[in-house]
Amino acid sequence: MDVTEAVATHCPYCALQCAQSLTPTPTGVEVAPRDFPTNRGGMCQKGWTSAALLQTPDRLTSPLLRVDDELVAVDWDTALDHLAARLRAVRAESGADAVAVFGGGGLTNEKAYQLGKFARLALGTANIDYNGRFCMSSAAAAANRSLGMDRGLPFPLEDLRGAQAVLLLGSNLAETMPPSLNHLAAVRARGGLVVVDPRRSATAALAADDDGVHLQPVPGTDLAVLLGLTHVVLRDGLADRDYLHGRTSGLDALAAAVAAWWPERVEQVSGVPVAALERAAHRLAAAAPVHGGDGAYVLTGRGVEQSSQGTDTVTAAINLALVLGLCGRVGSGYGAVTGQGNGQGGREHGQKADQLPGYRSITDPDARAHVAGVWGVDPATIPGPGLPAVQLLAALGTAGGPRALLVHGANLRISAPSAGDVARRLAALDLLVVCDFVLSETAALADVVLPVTQWAEEEGTMTSLEGRVIRRRRALPPPAGVRSELQVWAELAARLRAPGRWDTDPAAVFDELARASAGGRADYSGLSHARLDGAEALFWPCPATPAGAPEHPGTPRPFLDRFPTPDGRARLVPVDHRGPQERPGPGHPLHLITGRVLQHYQSGAQTRRVPELAAAQPEAFAELHPLTADRLGVGDGDRLRLRNRRGEVLARARISAAIRPDTVFVPFHFAGAGSVNEITNDALDPVSSMPEFKVCAVDVVAEDDPAPHAGAPVEGAAR
C-alpha cells in the first residue's frame, strides 16, 4: 500500500459515524475529517485523537490463557483447541444453554450477524444478548408498538436543519455528538430548541442562551412532563385533528389518559413550572405543519430511555409527536438518538435474545424458515428466545444458569448496572472468554482472552443513527498475531463441527446477511459492499429488485405514505407515570444521575488509553449544587463517597449551579473506585428489559467519613 494513499472510512466511536480519512504513515495513520451528511466535515475531540488507539502500548497481540491464576501468552491453536474442548465439555455436562454469548453495539454488521449465527448454530444456545439492551431497547420497543418499526431516526439527520422547533429529552448532544449541533444551528437561531434535562448541560445551556426553553425536572419524571405537554396541546386546541383522523388510531383513549395530567399536577410531580411547560408546548405547536410552521421534531436519548419506565416514556414522546401531526412528514418527526457506533445495525441482525437477522422475531415460524434456508439448516435447529441482558448476567454461574460466557465488544465490569454484582457473577463462571484489543477490566477477569482487530484494520459496514448503511474500510494491517472475530468464529465452528458456511471475508458475510434479511423489517437485500463503495451510503430498508429492474434507492423517510402496521396507521398508546423504582429517602437523600462527558466514550476502555483525552478528564467527578455542597460541608475538588445499598464509589466534588440541589451527577466512563455503575440500579423496564441506569438514590459524604454504610432501605427499592 502506498503510504500516501488516503482511505475513506468512519470514526470508531458513536452512531453519528463521522466520516474520516485515514492516511497510512511509516509510524501509523493520520486522521482527517471528510465531508459527510452527518458530520459535514467536522469531528469531535475523540475522533481527532482516534488514531492513538492503534498505537496504545498495551495492545494485545497474542491469545492469553489463565494458568495458575495468571494470564499467560499462548499461540492461537493452543487457545482455540483449549476453548473448543472446554465448550464441548460444558455443553455435554449441562446442555447448550449453559454457554452464553454477550455481544456489542460497536461490532460491524457482519460481525453482529455472524455472532448471532455462531451462538445459535455452533454453540446451539438460546442465550445471546448484547450491550445494546442497555442502549436502545426502550426506544426500539416503543417505536415498534407505536410506529410499526424501529429505526432510530426515521429521517436523515440533516432534515433537522430546516426545523422551527426541536424538543430534545435525555440527550446532551453538545458533549456526546458535538458535530450534530451543526444541524441545530437554525433552530437555535429561531429560539426553537427545547431541552428537558435535570442538569443545565452544555446542550441545555444552548437552549437557555438562545431564547429556547430548558425544562429541569426531578430525575425520573420526564414521562410526567411529556404527559403534561400532550395535555396542553389537546386542551388548547393545538392538535392536528385531520392528521389524527387520517393516520392514527387510539385518540380517545389517549385523550382520556392525559386528561389527568394538567400542568399544575405536572409541576407538583416534576418541579417544572406551569408557565414553562405551557411555553414549551406552544413553541412546539407553532412549528407544526398544521399551524403553518416550518416543522418540529421530538427526539429522545438515553437519559429518558434507561429507566424502568423507559418504553412508556418514549411512547409518550411519540404520542406527543403524533398529536402534533409530525411523524411521516418531510421536515417533522420523532426519532431516538442512537448512542453506540453500530447500535442500530447491531440490533437488526441477530445479537438480541429474541431476534433473527432482518429484525425478525425468533418465534415467528416464517422468519425461522427463511433464515434457516439461508443457513442451510432445519428450522428446528435454531433455538428459541434466550434471556435478555440483565437477566442473563444475573443467571451466570447460578444453579441451572450459564456456566460459560463469551464476550465480544463489551466491557461488562464497567458498563453493566450494579456492576459489583456482575463481577461476582463473572467470577462464578467455569469459563469466561473475552475478545478485545486491550486487557479491559472484563478481559482481566477472563480465562481466555483473544486479541482482535480494531476499526482501521478491518473491512465491513456500520449503520448510523439514521439507518444509513456505510462502509468501514481497512487502512492498515493489524499487528502480527491479531485476528478478526470472523476468523475466530470460523475456526471455532470448525472445531465444534458446526453446520453451515463460515466465511471470513466480510463482503461474503454481508452478502449472506443481505439474503437473510430479505423481506424483514430491516431489509438489506439490495445492498452489498460493492454497491456501498459506489454510493457511499444508503438507507434501509433497501430490498433487492428483480433482474433488469433499477436498483432500489434506499428509504431515507420510511413513514411518508403509511406506517408499517397492519392497518397502516400509527398507534396512540396510553401510558401513565409511575416514577423510578428508587426514590430518595432516609439515609439516601439525593438522586444520582449518570451520563457522559466530551472526552470519553462508553466504559472508557478506549478513550482512557488516549493520553490527550485522559489528561483532559482523568477521573470521575460528582457534580453538586452549591447548596448541597454547603449542607455537606465540602468544597470544590474534595473527595466524596457516594453510597447506597449496592455499594459505594469515590469521586471528586465539582460544584455547579447547573444541577438541581436534590441531585448529583457522575459520568460512567471510569474504572476502579470511581466506577459509578457499582451503585446504579438494575431494576428493569417490564417491556424492554432496559435497566434503570439513569436514576437511583444515594447518600453523599466526605471521603474521610469512617462510618460504614448502614442507612435505611432505599424508598421503593426491590427487596
Q: Which CATH number goes with the domain that contains 665?
A: 2.40.40.20
Instruction: Say if 661 falls within a structural domain.
Output: yes
| 235 and 297 assigned to the same domain | yes
CA separation for the pair 649, 676 (Å, rounded): 6
**CA-wise closest residue to 601 among 9, 19, 52:** 52
DSSP per position, 558-569: TTSS--SSTTS-
Instruction: Say if 569 falls within a structural domain.
Output: no
Q: Give the structural domain span for 405.
A: 64-134+342-504
Query: Checking DSSP bridges between strand 99-103 and strand 128-130, what pairing results, if any?
Result: parallel
CA separation for the pair 165, 292 (Å, rounded): 13
Grid coordinates 429521517 are at which residue?
Answer: 155
Q: Work out the burial of residue 566: count CB atoms within 10 Å of its CB; fewer than 13 is exposed, 13-18 middle, 19 or more buried.
A: exposed
| 243 and 204 assigned to the same domain | yes
Q: What share of the chain is helix, strand, coil (3-state, %, to 5)?
A: 35, 20, 45
Instruction: Say if 114 falls within a structural domain.
Output: yes
Rg (CA), the chain: 25
Instruction: Say if 82 falls within a structural domain.
Output: yes
| 253 and 352 assigned to the same domain | no
Query: Checking DSSP bridges between strand 460-463 and strand 468-472, what pairing results, if any?
Result: antiparallel
Instruction: Say if 256 falls within a structural domain.
Output: yes
**Which grid cell sits at 89?**
465439555
**3-state secondary structure (DSSP) of residue 86:** helix
Crossing angle of helices 251-258 and 222-235, in 10° steps, is 110
Please identify, among 504, 519, 534, the residue that sits at the C-terminal boundary of a domain: 504
Question: Residue 387, Cα to own-chain centre: how many angstroms?
Answer: 18
* 392 phi and psi angles, rounded to 5 deg: -65, -45
If phi over 0 gives left and psi between -120 and 50 gives alpha, with beta otherwise, what is residue 113? alpha
Grid coordinates 445479537 are at which residue?
Answer: 351
CA separation for the pair 421, 427 (Å, rounded): 10
- DSSP E strand stretches across 426-531: 431-436, 448-451, 460-463, 468-472
**CA-wise closest residue to 430 among 64, 94, 102:** 94
| 108 and 167 assigned to the same domain | no
The residues, ordered by sequence, that sit 6+ positions from 337 with a Cβ below 8 Å of its Cβ are 15, 152, 153, 171, 173, 177, 299, 300, 301, 465
Type of residue numbered 541:
P
Prediction pTM value? 0.95
Give the CA angle between residues 540, 475, 14 to the nearest 5°. 45
Burial profile 7-31: b = 16 or more Cβ within 10 angstroms, e = fewer: bbbbbbbbbbbbbbebbbeeebbeb
Q: Work out the burial of residue 181: count CB atoms within 10 Å of its CB; fewer than 13 is exposed, 13-18 middle, 19 or more buried.
A: middle
CATH number at residue 79: 3.40.50.740
DSSP per position, 506-548: HHHHHHHHHHHHTTSSS--TT--HHHHHHHSEEESP-----TT
Please identify, among 475, 504, 533, the residue that sits at the C-terminal boundary of a domain: 504
Q: What's the pLDDT at 718?
A: 33
| 303 and 162 assigned to the same domain | yes
If phi over 0 gives left and psi between -120 and 50 gives alpha, with beta otherwise, what is residue 511? alpha
CA separation for the pair 453, 106 (Å, rounded): 12
Q: How long is the chain?
A: 719
**Which grid cell sits at 94?**
449441562
Q: What's the pLDDT at 28?
A: 83
| 498 and 357 assigned to the same domain | yes
Instruction: Say if 576 falls within a structural domain.
Output: no
Task: Specify the DSSP element, H or E, that contains 284.
Answer: helix 274-287
Please identify, among 504, 530, 548, the residue that sits at the C-terminal boundary of a domain: 504
| 375 and 402 assigned to the same domain | yes
Instruction: Say if 556 falls within a structural domain.
Output: no
| 158 and 277 assigned to the same domain | yes
CATH number at residue 283: 3.40.228.10
CA separation for the pair 474, 331 (Å, rounded): 36
**3-state secondary structure (DSSP) of residue 700:** strand
| 368 and 480 assigned to the same domain | yes
Instruction: Say if 394 falls within a structural domain.
Output: yes
**Sign of the CA dihedral 121, 127, 133, 136?**
positive
Say how many Å lie between the first and final Cα of the chain, rounded: 61
Which stretches of the chain drop beneath a pLDDT of 50?
A: 1-2, 708-719
CA separation for the pair 562, 149 (Å, rounded): 11
**Which grid cell sits at 127?**
442465550
| 351 and 332 assigned to the same domain | no
CATH number at residue 28: 2.20.25.90
| 321 and 183 assigned to the same domain | yes
- The answer to whether the CB of 163 falls within 8 A of the CB of 287 is yes
Q: How far is CA 593 from CA 141, 576, 590, in A?
A: 23, 22, 10
Burial profile 436-453: b = 16 or more Cβ within 10 angstroms, e = fewer: bbbbbbbbebbbbbbbbb
- DSSP E strand stretches across 281-363: 296-300, 333-336, 355-356, 360-361
Does a cis peptide bond (omega within 30 degrees of 0) precede residue 541? yes
| 371 and 496 assigned to the same domain | yes
The number of distinct structural domains making up the chain is 4
